[in-house]
């Protein structure tokens, strides 16, 4: 009776807990900690969406159980978004489902399609549910590089050759949390060709579809011809409209996968609260200036942060998308690993970051900084980091080399 439950034993101790504990203790001691460790959007959703929620909630008929797979208008709105944004046609009846956030959808799809002992290919580092959704479901995970390039493609070929049993699914997430890497359409074309040939499902997490800083918006895997035969893609209201606490997301694509998720969810939940679904329709179908504004806001923060860190002697590649900078631990501290470095930064610079180890063992040389504080607080964080670096003998880098537009090399 005292032995830990099988599934719980498969979940390692929460890496972020150590840093979170130190953060809570510092705050309890009255210290002003600037928290760049979280991925929680700090802006309010669009005003017209909040208004729609407030109006809808007055209706006595909306307080019962909702529809597990999402109200029809919401599924239609998501299909219209895909058509407009990616030129991808989706049948709202069979190829779209609303989820209680994309995280819930990912976890329940993993449960729906996994047989015990299946091998799943997951980038490392990655957002934890990509790996643990499948581990909880009884699969084994084989790590692949997180870079959308030849390295990942080579690793995929090796994985198919050497994994027993042969992998059944592959997770993709671009723009990525935590690495901020963005994939190109050509990369997706190669991945789709590979996965079709090898009969591997693709589960793509496109939560950061609208948070990008380059000229070209991130593509959808589903826009590759034939992708729908093997792909389901998750999107979310959480980042695009800063509705993270509302818990609305989507899965779209292959009808067999959508059916599997719909079926398992019909046993588990009654869908998001109806007024929230109605307000989500208003977000998707109403004016979209909020989306370009939020993108500009994160871009401004990105530029302030990357330039400031550079001036402090910390060379961090400018993210091309997502809400994060993925920062290599400065050489002076590289031996410490990400957990101890995060704790040191918290103690001496009063800035909280997420240790890369929390996203997988190959993340241990990095920390993740969220663009979730305003520029004034970011500048305060930078001053503090600069002082910390100089106390440790790190000098500013050549200012000419700091260019927030420069690409990941
Ligand atoms: C890559 C990625 N996918 C999914 C999520 C969760 O999204 P949702 O709020 O829709 O569950 C996050 C949240 O941080 C994320 O970073």
Check pocket membership of 249 for ligand 1, CB cut-off 6 A.
yes
CA distances from 28 to 31, 144, 236, 354, 355 (A): 7, 40, 34, 20, 21
Q: From residue 211, how far is each of 246, 296, 323, 361, 401 by CA, in Å? A: 19, 9, 7, 26, 25
CB of 179 shorter than 6 A to ligand 1:
no
Q: How far is the CA of 180 from the centre of ligand 1 (A)?
A: 13
* Residue 399 scores a pLDDT above 80: no
Pairwise CA distance, residues 240 & 247, whole Å: 13
Predicted pLDDT at 11: 87
Whether the pLDDT of residue 96 is over 50: the answer is yes
pTM over 0.85: yes
**Taking 70 as the threshold, does the pLDDT of residue 363 lie above it?**
yes
pLDDT at 338 over 50: yes
Q: What is the whole-number distance in angstroms between the Cα of residue 127 and the centre of ligand 1?
A: 8
233 CB within 6 A, ligand 1: no
pLDDT at 2: 85
Q: Which of 180-189, 347-356, 388-397 has the lowest mean pLDDT?
A: 388-397
Contact 389, 312 (CB under 8 A): yes
pLDDT in tens, 190-209: 999 999 999 999 999 999 99
For range 158-181, the mean pLDDT: 96
Distance in angstroms (rounded) separating the CA atoms of residues 257 and 345 = 44
- Average pLDDT value for residue range 2-22: 87
Give the helix, strand, coil percentages of the chain, each rounded to 5: 50, 15, 40
Hey, which of 104, 110, 127, 280 would you mutate to test ligand 1's pocket, going by the most ligand atoms within 8 Å of its Cβ? 127
230's CB contacts (< 8 A; 6+ apart) are 192, 195, 196, 199, 200, 201, 202, 254
> What is the reported pLDDT for 333?
96
The minimum-distance atom of ligand 1 relative to the CA of 105 is 11
d(CA 279, CA 55) in angstroms, rounded, equals: 9
Q: CB–CB of 352/19 below 8 Å? A: yes
Q: Is 59 exposed, middle or buried (0-12, 13-18, 19+ CB in 10 A)?
A: exposed
Q: Which residues lie below 8 Å from residue 111, measured CB to CB, with a gap of 6+?
A: 133, 136, 137, 264
Segment holding 42, helix H or strand E: none
Distance CA 326, CA 305 (A): 12
Instruction: Burial-class residue 62 by CB neighbours within 10 Å (0-12, 13-18, 19+).
Output: middle
Instruction: Give the pair of three-digit tokens for residue 186.
Output: 């050509």
Among 86-95, 289-298, 367-376, 391-400, name the one with the lowest average pLDDT.
Answer: 391-400
Task: Answer whether 272 contacts ligand 1 (Cβ < 6 A).
Answer: no
Distances (CA, A) of 343 to 179, 339, 346: 20, 6, 5
- Report which protein residue has its CA nearest ligand 1's atom 12: 207
CA distance 147 to 363: 12
What is the pLDDT at residue 405?
Answer: 53
| Residue 149, both tokens | 């390039």
Ligand 1: centre distance to CA 107 (Å): 12
By alpha-carbon position, which residue is closest to atom 2 of ligand 1?
207
């Amino acid at each position: 009776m005292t032995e830990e439950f099988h599934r719980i034993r498969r979940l390692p101790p929460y890496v972020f807990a150590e840093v979170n504990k130190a953060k809570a203790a510092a705050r309890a001691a009255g210290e002003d900690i600037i928290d760049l460790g979280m991925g929680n959007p700090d802006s309010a959703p669009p005003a017209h969406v909040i208004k729609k929620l407030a109006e809808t909630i007055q209706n006595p008929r909306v307080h019962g159980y909702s529809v597990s797979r999402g109200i029809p208008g919401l599924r239609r709105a998501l299909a219209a978004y895909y058509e407009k944004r990616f030129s991808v046609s989706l049948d709202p009846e069979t190829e779209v489902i609303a989820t209680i956030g994309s995280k819930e959808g990912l976890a329940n799809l993993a449960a729906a399609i996994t047989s015990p002992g299946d091998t799943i290919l997951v980038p490392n580092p990655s957002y934890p549910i990509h790996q643990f959704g499948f581990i909880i479901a009884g699969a084994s995970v084989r790590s692949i590089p997180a870079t959308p390039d030849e390295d990942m493609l080579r690793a995929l070929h090796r994985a198919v050759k050497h994994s027993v049993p042969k992998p059944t699914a592959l997770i993709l997430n671009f723009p990525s949390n935590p690495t901020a890497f963005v994939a190109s359409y050509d990369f997706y074309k190669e991945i789709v060709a590979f996965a079709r040939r090898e009969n591997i499902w693709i589960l793509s997490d496109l939560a950061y579809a609208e948070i990008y800083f380059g000229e070209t918006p991130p593509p959808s895997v589903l826009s590759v011809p034939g992708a729908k035969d093997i792909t389901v893609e998750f999107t979310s209201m959480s980042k695009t409209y800063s509705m993270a606490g509302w818990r609305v997301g989507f899965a779209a694509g292959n009808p067999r996968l959508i059916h599997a998720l719909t079926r398992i969810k019909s046993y588990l939940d009654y869908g998001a609260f109806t007024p929230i679904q109605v307000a989500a329709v208003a977000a998707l179908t109403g004016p979209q200036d909020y989306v370009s504004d939020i993108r500009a806001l994160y871009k401004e923060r990105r530029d302030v942060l990357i330039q400031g860190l550079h001036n402090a002697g910390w060379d961090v590649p400018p993210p091309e998308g997502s809400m994060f900078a993925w920062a290599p631990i400065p050489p002076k501290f590289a031996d410490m690993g990400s957990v101890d470095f995060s704790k040191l930064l918290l103690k001496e610079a009063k800035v909280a970051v997420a240790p890369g180890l929390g996203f997988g063992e190959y993340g241990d040389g990095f920390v993740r900084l969220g663009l979730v504080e305003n520029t004034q607080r970011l500048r305060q964080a930078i001053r503090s980091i600069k002082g910390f670096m100089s106390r440790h003998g790190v000098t500013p880098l050549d200012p000419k080399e700091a260019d927030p537009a420069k690409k990941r090399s």
